[in-house]
Structure 1
Amino acid sequence: MREALLGVAIFVCLAGASLTSLLIHGRFPPHHRQDDTSAIVRLAANLFVVMTSLVLGLMINSAKNTFEAIDHNLHAYATELILLDRSLRQYGPETQAARQPLIAYVQRVVDATSPSQQSPIVANRLSELLLNNVGDQLSVLTPPDDRHADMLRDARQQLQKVIELRWVLAEQSEGAIPGALIALLVAWLMLIFASFGFRAPCNATVVATFVVSAALVAAALYLIMDMDIPFSGPIQISPAPLERALAELKQ
């Protein structure tokens, strides 16, 4: 929701800058409308075009890296959940009390990744309590022999890995693109769009071009910001690995 509001705000800023420049240019004093002045304005705009292109490239690369890193960690997370459940099953029926909160935990995580949910994945207090309950159940087990002791040690290590990946995903869900960089980029784009309206003819075609261009640029920035936060918006991490893990746990 926040990214969508930012996209709308960016559209208003860009369209407003170009249309305002278009409307007030004719009211400038004559010496401000000379060809030399127009040339300087366009040179300055060209400078910001280059800087904007560089920053946009960095933002796209940062959002792509964040998305791929979270996708990789989510697959590893689902794998560790399956391996933990396999270790508990292999130990014996004594671990049924630990498997029940584990299944309930994975179910809540899958529900949190559905499009209807707004909360970030795994960042839920009740989910954390369910996962901690798995560790509590493992701590009361008494292995009858060395073989079971080894399996219990492996299960505890796998549980610790799940907890680590859970917090990694929770930390990564907030995005990595600084807000100040987005604000600076929007300011540069406003100057560029304002230069478009400098000495431009005031007609419906020009106005429509400015509005459509502002909408497309705002949409591109919105998608970049949305990709940087992969657990919400139209570009989301697929919940398929967690759904497959839940199906394996319920078998």
Structure 2
Amino acid sequence: MSSVLVALIVFLSLFGGAMLGMWVARRLAEHHLAKETQDAVKLGVGMVVAVSSLILGLMTASVKGNFDATSRDVQQFATYLITLDGTLRDYGPPAEPARAALLGFTRHLLAASWQITDPLADGRPKVVLDKPDPWAQVAFSGVIKAIRALAPGTPLEVDLKAEALERGRTLSVLRWTVIEESVTTVPPIFTAVLIVWLTLIFMSFGLFAPVNRVSVVAFMLCAVCLAGAIFLILEMSSPFDGLIYVSPASMEHALAQMMKPA
């Protein structure tokens, strides 16, 4: 279910709950709305509000932490791409096939994760979820094979080949780290329970609120704000999918550096 649809459901549930509370209040006997009843209901709802606030805070911290970690991993990945390309440049012409394979691998990652057909063009890219891609794995294997195929003839070339292989292994680990940790799944049952809690809270608000335009507009705005919060949480849970995503700037910079003439 998309984050926009979930946010719409949250808004309708919360605003509908407030309106339902107002509707029920007008049909209850006066003694059911006495001050003692209001105090008892507010006491119970206050506990639910506290727990809901805690849950929302934990969800936000979890997805935001994962989003920031993924962003750092992408930046680190781009850094290792640049340093590996620099090592291959230092090796000289025999390493050109490996550099070409690395360039193709980088182009593919940009196209697969951010759908950037021209990585150096201006404009905001459309983003799709980064999933394990067999072609990219084959492409990266081609980079490693090209490095291993180098036949160093001097001590310097031996050191450069060893350095390139080490950075290649680090890139492989980082790539799978980004893939495996790029999505923080928010369990649907977890979201459903939270929506039920928030709906009950809004029903209690509407139960004792005066029926006028100001109250209705206030409840509508509050429902929009909470729906927006849920929307942001779900959007950040997928760093390579949706409206909020990890910036490809570091990868574009890496590709630009790799495309510079030797």
Global fold match (TM > 0.5): yes
Pair 1:190 & 2:199 matched: yes
**Structure 2 segments unaligned to the other structure (5+ residues):** 117-123
- The answer to whether the 8 Å contact 1:66/1:175 transfers is yes
Q: 1:244 aligns with which of 232, 249, 253?
A: 253
Deviation of 1:105 after TM superposition, in Å, equals 1.6
Corresponding position of 1:65:
65
Alignment of 1:20-59 (within 5 A): 20-28=20-28, 32-59=32-59
Corresponding position of 2:98:
98
- The answer to whether the 8 Å contact 2:79/2:254 transfers is yes
Corresponding position of 2:119:
none
Corresponding position of 1:150:
159
- Measured in 1, the distance between the counterparts of 2:215 and 2:84 equals 62
Letter in 1 for 2:2: R
Question: Tell me, what secondary structure is at the counterpart of 1:27?
Answer: coil
Corresponding position of 2:83:
83
Q: 1:168 aligns with which of 173, 177, 182?
A: 177
- Measured in 2, the distance between the counterparts of 1:140 and 1:122 equals 29
Q: Residues 95-147 of structure 1: CA distance to partner in whole angstroms, max 9, x if unpaired? A: 21121121122122223325544422464332222112112222322222333
- The answer to whether the 8 Å contact 1:25/1:199 transfers is yes
- The answer to whether the 8 Å contact 1:62/1:177 transfers is no
Corresponding position of 1:231:
240
Pair 1:204 & 2:244 matched: no
- Measured in 2, the distance between the counterparts of 1:177 and 1:163 equals 27
- Measured in 1, the distance between the counterparts of 2:128 and 2:94 equals 34
**Structure 1 segments unaligned to the other structure (5+ residues):** none
Task: Say which is worse superposed, 221-230 or 115-124, in terms of deviation.
Answer: 115-124
- The answer to whether the 8 Å contact 1:21/1:198 transfers is yes
- The answer to whether the 8 Å contact 1:10/1:218 transfers is yes
- Measured in 2, the distance between the counterparts of 1:48 and 1:221 equals 17
Question: Tell me, what secondary structure is at the counterpart of 1:175?
Answer: coil
Letter in 2 for 1:50: A
Deviation of 1:5 after TM superposition, in Å, equals 1.8
Q: Percent identity?
A: 31
**TM-score (normalizing by structure 1):** 0.90
- The count of residues paired between Structure 1 and Structure 2 equals 251
Query: Aligned Cα RMSD in Å?
Result: 2.2
Corresponding position of 1:220:
229
Deviation of 1:50 after TM superposition, in Å, equals 1.3
- The answer to whether the 8 Å contact 2:78/2:251 transfers is yes
- Measured in 1, the distance between the counterparts of 2:5 and 2:99 equals 42
**TM-score (normalizing by structure 2):** 0.86
